[in-house]
Amino acid sequence: MKYLPIIGVTAALVCYADLAVAKTPAEIESIAKAVTVEIRLLKNESVGSGIIIDRLGDTYTLITNRHVVCGQTRNCTAPPAGETYSVKLSDGQKYQVAAKSVKLLDNNLDLATIQFRSNRAYPVAQIDDGSLKAGDRVYTSGYPLTPPGFSFNAGKAFAVVNKRLTEDRGGYTVIYNAETQPGMSGGGVFSQEGRLVAIHGQGERYRDSTQLEKLPESGTIPIKSEVGSKIGYNRGIPVRWAIEGLTERGIKLGNSRAVNSRQTAASTADEHFIVGFNKLVEPGANVVAGKQAAVSEFSQAIKLNPNYTYAYFLRAITYSQLQEHRQAILDGDRVIAIDPKLAQVYYNRGIEKQAIGDLPGALADYDRAIAVDPALAEAYLNRANLKKKNLNDPQGALADYNRVIALTPNDAKGYANRGNLKDDLNDSQGALTDYDRAISLDNSYAQLYYSRGIVKRKLKDFQGALADYDRAIAVDPDLAIAYFNRANLKGGRLNDTQGALADYQRAIALDPKYAPTYVNRGNLKDDKLNDLQGALADYDRAIALDSKSPKAYYNRGVVKRKLNDLKGALTDYDRTIALDPQSAFTYAARGNLKYAQLGDRPGGITDTRQAAKLARTQGNSLILQLATQRLQAWGVGE
């Protein structure tokens, strides 16, 4: 395999650690916390982490990611002009640093340094750039966005390659599974001896299949939740790649000696695995081609190591993202054959089975994932959604949502989905409480405000509902269903006809194929604007989009009758009843049309009697009273 040459440097100065003894996790956490810093860009308002790696007099040097100092843009060639960096140390002391004290490391590395001055004594990380190998215990450190504060997590190194690769995406040749969160980029990866072995840079999360399972109050708008598989792997840059650039700047870490980074040995399974992983998470402009290339690399890793569990695992995820769900299931089978105790694999395979419609298989896999790992919250969440949405088991879903919340009390998704279920079960107050809690934990979900607005409207808190629809639209200006329901509220309860019309028009601009918006805008034009031709055009469009919408036919029939198209009105009423034979008000309208305007008195009486019968059964007192009065006026009984 080809590898990237190190331009201008033929040998790297690599510091070798003294003989070290493994430390306890508590000892390593203390070491990591002392040398890990929080970095805030005051202008860009982004957050990252860094590690103290050198002190010369009162000048300290931090190492972090290029994309941290550039405001989450890795391809920048210089720090943002005029940016100011706030560096917060473990003792809470903050130092402000100008962009001129920030340097980007060369050789296509996603690394940078920040220098600050202080007369306080801070510890410096001890470096070990040569001993890390696959299977070793590692620990990550950093300052996540949420929850705020220092984070320290244990994991394992899955793949380590000690040479630059053509596809290392900025030097990322270490893969591990120690937990990370947004904001921890630039933090440390520490060995079990408490030494810095890599710089954490990329936390590969997952396309979340456990988002809010409910969006529209009614209708057919698809829910915008991505179905995918959890990766849970992270990428780091070996500290050895930083040493070259640091040496060029006069920063010599420990006792160093030259090591040639231009290794030419044959490609290993780990190299193919890392290249495949990099292609998976950064596929390039042609996403499909990039993902297919990742499959090829994972396949090469498996060819070299037929028991390479992680390669099967990630190939399954890649197949999933390529919508090749059956191939993903086969790779899940292979992983389970090698190691039947990986709960995440059962969970992922359950997602794939659900995608192909194998609901019993999906449920069995979620059950198995939970049996292997009773603390796997996402398995409970997906099982709950499956029970609620597909298996008609609301009580089973409620029990699972309760378990999710017990396991992850600070995660909004458990409360949000339980709120959806309570709303379905007509527990509006319970739903409102859950939505309030979810929003207090994560105010970035437009769907949460929207769903809470629906519940508030049911509770007749119309101003509260309006405020929530406003907030949903502020968070996601393209959420068509929020405009739709805000328009319904404005037109129906708040007497804001023009505001409702504007919202319907915006909803249609965003989603021109959603028939109910045309139906409701037609209603507004008919009831409030006396625009019968405009209403007729909207009903026509709704029926063109959804030929099985009884509301559209009925309302079009009403407008045609007003326009004296009596036969057209009758045809639309006929179609409405064919689609909805339990519609008492349609029988009443058709009966009146037949009796009063079409001269079909027997037909009118029959329809009106049917309207009365249905209304009595359904408890519709208004239609019952109307039908009874008409029959009495016509001199006949029920």
Stretch 264-280: mean pLDDT? 85
DSSP 223: P
pLDDT score recorded for residue 256 = 41
pLDDT band at 282 (very low <50, low <70, confident <90, very high): confident
Each residue of 531-565: pLDDT tens digit? 999 999 999 999 999 999 999 999 999 999 999 99
46 has pLDDT over 90: no
3-state SS assignment for residue 458? helix
The pTM is what?
A: 0.79
Which domains does the chain show, CATH number per domain? 12-208+230-259 (2.40.10.120), 266-373 (1.25.40.10)
Cα–Cα distance measured from residue 102 to residue 205, given in angstroms and rounded to the nearest whole number: 29
Stretch 208-235: mean pLDDT? 49
Distance of CA 163 to the CA centre of its chain: 34
pLDDT score recorded for residue 168 = 84
Helix or strand run (H / E) with residue 235: strand 234-238
Neighbours of 87 (CB within 10 A): 23
205 has pLDDT over 70: no
Sort strands 84-88 and 94-98 into parallel, antiparallel or unpaired: antiparallel
Distance of CA 288 to the CA centre of its chain: 20
Sequence-ordered list of residues with C-beta below 8 angstroms from that of 324, at least 6 positions apart, any chain: none
Cα–Cα distance measured from residue 110 to residue 174, given in angstroms and rounded to the nearest whole number: 13
Cα–Cα distance measured from residue 16 to residue 264, given in angstroms and rounded to the nearest whole number: 22
Stretch 504-523: mean pLDDT? 97
| Tokens representing residue 237 in the block | 């840059």
- HEC per residue, 376-415: CHHHHHHHHHHHHHCCCCHHHHHHHHHHHHHHCCCCHHHH
Bridge partners (DSSP) listed for residue 237: 199
260 has pLDDT over 70: no
Of 154-168, 261-275, 458-472, highest mean pLDDT: 458-472
Each residue of 476-503: pLDDT tens digit? 999 999 999 999 999 999 999 999 999 9
Between 22 and 27, the higher pLDDT residue: 27
From the list 371, 379, 372, the residue with the least C-alpha distance to 351 is 379
- Between helices 359-372 and 343-355, what is the axis angle to 10°? 170
pLDDT score recorded for residue 361 = 98
pLDDT band at 128 (very low <50, low <70, confident <90, very high): confident
Cα–Cα distance measured from residue 216 to residue 389, given in angstroms and rounded to the nearest whole number: 14
> How many angstroms separate the Cα of 191 from the Cα of each of 110, 129, 143, 197, 234?
21, 10, 19, 6, 15
> How many angstroms separate the Cα of 106 from the Cα of each of 49, 101, 305?
20, 16, 34
pLDDT band at 16 (very low <50, low <70, confident <90, very high): very low
Between 356 and 168, the higher pLDDT residue: 356
Of 243-257, 258-272, 371-385, highest mean pLDDT: 371-385
Between 318 and 203, the higher pLDDT residue: 318
Neighbours of 268 (CB within 10 A): 16
pLDDT score recorded for residue 20 = 59
9 has pLDDT over 70: no
312 has pLDDT over 60: yes
From the list 337, 157, 321, the residue with the least C-alpha distance to 233 is 157
Sequence-ordered list of residues with C-beta below 8 angstroms from that of 514, at least 6 positions apart, any chain: 219, 220, 221, 480, 481, 484, 507, 508, 545
Average pLDDT, the chain: 88
pLDDT score recorded for residue 245 = 67
pLDDT band at 5 (very low <50, low <70, confident <90, very high): very low
pLDDT band at 252 (very low <50, low <70, confident <90, very high): low
pLDDT score recorded for residue 220 = 35
325 has pLDDT over 80: yes
Cα–Cα distance measured from residue 1 to residue 265, given in angstroms and rounded to the nearest whole number: 8
Stretch 400-423: mean pLDDT? 95
pLDDT score recorded for residue 129 = 74
Bridge partners (DSSP) listed for residue 48: 39
| Tokens representing residue 111 in the block | 């690394």
Stretch 422-441: mean pLDDT? 96
pLDDT band at 130 (very low <50, low <70, confident <90, very high): confident
418 has pLDDT over 90: yes
> How many angstroms separate the Cα of 65 from the Cα of each of 41, 68, 72, 103?
13, 5, 9, 11
pLDDT score recorded for residue 221 = 37
Neighbours of 48 (CB within 10 A): 28
Stretch 320-325: mean pLDDT? 94
| Tokens representing residue 617 in the block | 């059964």
Between 423 and 215, the higher pLDDT residue: 423
Beta strands in 331-438, from DSSP E residues, in sequence order: none
pLDDT score recorded for residue 58 = 93
pLDDT score recorded for residue 284 = 86
254 has pLDDT over 60: no
Q: Describe the chain by its helix, strand, coil percentages, rounded to 5.
A: 50, 15, 35
DSSP 24: -
Each residue of 590-638: pLDDT tens digit? 999 999 999 999 999 999 999 999 999 999 999 999 999 999 999 987 6
